[in-house]
Structure 1
């Protein structure tokens, strides 16, 4: 598929959900508003996103109260679960949801969370190597194959998964570094382009990680690694609405600590969408042509305000 002709879709990240009632209300409302997915984060410490429900269990509950909404993880830390056990949970959740599950997974990055749980926070190269092996195992098991694998980190001997999915649930990988982008391009169905993770266990807040040339380079790395595979490009964004795009961009620049002098940079950042809904829809259409992004996720706090953009763009291809 020509990536620039791919239809737009939109998701909600339910990061402020703290109860079962909030979960079901958010899932139903997201479906009602035309969002394609509800995703949940994977953290068991309060910072930086607040308390979170366990994603796989919570998504099963969300599946029970919706019929078309897809359910996903944004994203699981690979080190928290063995891939064989994760494949079993993913296959079960995909079955319970009628094939609506999307498995998002990353290498793990939050050092303080590892330390709080007494888990070793290995060097980035080790964590990333484990993730690549895990992706190979997950793809094989969730495709219904009898799986044997011998790597540096995992060994699997003749396993299958039940219930067998009718098709492998889409694998989603968030990536910011060159190696991770390559792995994502080779193994994922959807790649979330991120700022790079830092060795000390945080996500970079450098403005350079968000500039057009950097994002274009990262998208190109994914495409080069994917070869002939059709890979969807995704990004999580927090839109800033307002009648005047420049004024909204200035507020973003100041809030993020980049200073008002960075307003023009914010206006051109692929991850920043500012102004009224019609202007944001135009920005997304232009950036699909420039970078190939067609799947955007917004925090649940922005779900209602962003809904007019969903109404303008969801399901629209370039030819529409």
Structure 2
């Protein structure tokens, strides 16, 4: 059985010093991964330079994204940036990538939000380009969305054959893609096709268990790390991700209530019974409350 791993999403800080202190705080508290989101709107740092700065302040903490929006960058440029981050962090890059989904990002940048099927197809092709460019020698690709002509990327990442990839999603198409291509799958709430927010029809224990089943079936014998994000900690704690309604999620590991002992036992249940081992704290303000649980289980 895989050991527990814990990540925390961190969005911004008031200064370089404060950002470095936040990264060191996560590392000293036993968290495994620092994760930065990727949106054009809102109070958030750009993820890749923020992670490069965090790398200089830490020695063990892994550096991830929750998650990069594929539509924002050509995969050839992204492959180079992520490989550089992996080199400069001595092999600690752990990128998460998704299709891009938030309508406000696309509207603000004058971009068209394509239907989900188009975005998932584009992401699948981008993953092939990333992995190809991280391999040895020149790589070419001629697809529906991207073309690469005999590009021999430099630098190559430290981690071979490539940095471990995380995909996050709640829809069946994206979950099946993640099961085939990613090292980690973050089981998330499905979003509306129009990019306006979480789909209220996707919630509750049955929907969450169905996502696990989709990943297991699509992965076949391929080992995949399963996890999810903790959207609410404590009794009615914080506003959930993108105003998701957590009222139907109480039986899932996305909502953790009760004592330190209760939370620890619930996470152990989801690991022992369902194979979930990677849990991401979504709200920075819950770090102090959650740190003792990390200490118990990490």
Q: Same fold (TM over 0.5)?
A: yes
Equivalent residue in structure 2 for 1:302, among 278, 286, 292: 286
Q: Return the match for 2:52 from 56, 60, 64.
A: 60
Report the CA distance between 1:142 and its aligned residue: 2.1
How many equivalent residue pairs? 293
**Structure 2: gaps (5+ residues):** none
**Could you give the per-residue CA deviations for residues 76-119 of structure 1, whole angstroms, max 9, x where no partner exists?**
10000000000000000000000000111100101111011111
2:95 corresponds in structure 1 to 103
Tell me if the contact between 2:198 and 2:244 (Cα under 8 Å) persists in the aligned partners. no
Pick from 196, 219, 222: which aligns with 2:215? 222
What aligned pairs does 1:286-301 form with structure 2 within 5 A after superposition?
Answer: 286-298=269-281, 299-301=283-285
2:164 to 170, 174, 194: 170
Alignment partner, residue 277 of structure 1: 260
C-alpha change, 1:33 and 1:157, in structure 2 (3 Å) is same
Residue aligning to 2:13: 17
Report the more deviating stretch, 15-24 or 93-102: 15-24
Give me the CA root mean square deviation: 2.1
Deviations 1:55-88 (A, max 9, x none): 1001000000100000011101000000000000
Report SS of the residue matched to 1:233. strand
Aligned partner of 1:123 in structure 2 is 115
Give 1:256-271 correspondences, 5 Å limit.
Answer: 266-271=249-254
Partner deviation per Cα, 1:107-149 (whole Å, 9 max, x = no partner): 0101111011111211211111110100111122224353222
Counterpart of 2:26? 30
Cα distance in structure 1, aligned partners of 2:50 and 2:222: 31
Query: Structure 1 residue 39: deviation in Å?
Result: 0.6
- Counterpart-to-counterpart distance in 2, 1:18 and 1:224: 45
Once residues 305 and 45 of structure 1 are traced to their aligned partners in structure 2, the CA distance between those partners, rounded to angstroms, is 28
Structure 1 runs not aligned, ≥5 long? 242-247, 315-320
TM-score by length of 2: 0.92
